[in-house]
Amino acid sequence: MPRYRLDIEYDGRPYHGFQAQERLPSVQGAIERAVKGFCGEELRLQAAGRTDTGVHATHQVIHVDLEKDWKPDVVRDALNAHLVPEPIVVLEASVAPEGWHARFSARERRYLYRILNRKSPPALDQGRVWHVKKPLDADAMHTAAQVLVGHHDFTTFRDLQCQAKSPMKTLDIAAVRREGEHVLLEFASRSFLHRQVRSMTGSLAQVGLGRWSADDVKAALEARDRKACGPVAPAEGLYLAGVSY
């Protein structure tokens, strides 16, 4: 039974997250229906990560085990045909090496958070960015973000419903930069806690607005208390941007 790696992208706005749900639209459910439409198989796919309601992906990785040997290009093109008009696209399909797993073989996951920082709201990017009207100091945000890099107890930036066994995580990259009217935040780690990226982004935005300092971010981290977290950033600006194996 060949295993296929599928690199995909999707707009998360129509879905109640990635994970399949019985009566609610999900990215996983749409792809599994496409597989059934393509080859008649009912299966449960595996993914590198489960994004929340409204969160997007420019590079998610999943795998499916199919009964028949298909050329990877056929799998990609057939699934894309059956995914119409869903805002989900298979970018690439390949036969996975023996023992490879989309989730358990992943060594790093990368997230991008997009903030539109201007007075006027978005027209083309509605639902795809967080609109912040007041000026943000991206350099100050970047400096404060370095406090979060390393191995820490991230309880402060962990959703109360998080099911991870431990709040200890190693954040490899936390970078903030401005590109014109956009402030972009990038985070990389082997794994993240539930809503960790949105929680960190919301706190760093407080720094950008001049309400917090880098020392305040450090104090929040060291508090190990969810109540010390700043306002959580909305889902629409968040993207799963890559997975490394």
> CA 150, CA 174: separation in Å to the nearest integer?
10
- Give me the torsion for CA of 93, 30, 195, 57, rounded to 10°: 40
36 φψ region: left (φ > 0), alpha (ψ -120 to 50), beta (else): alpha
- Give me the torsion for CA of 202, 208, 210, 213, rounded to 10°: 80
Q: At 13, is the secondary structure helix, strand, or coil? A: coil
Distances (CA, A) of 6 to 41, 52, 73, 88, 188: 16, 20, 11, 12, 21
DSSP code, position 19: S
> CA 180, CA 139: separation in Å to the nearest integer?
14
> Catalytic residue numbers?
52
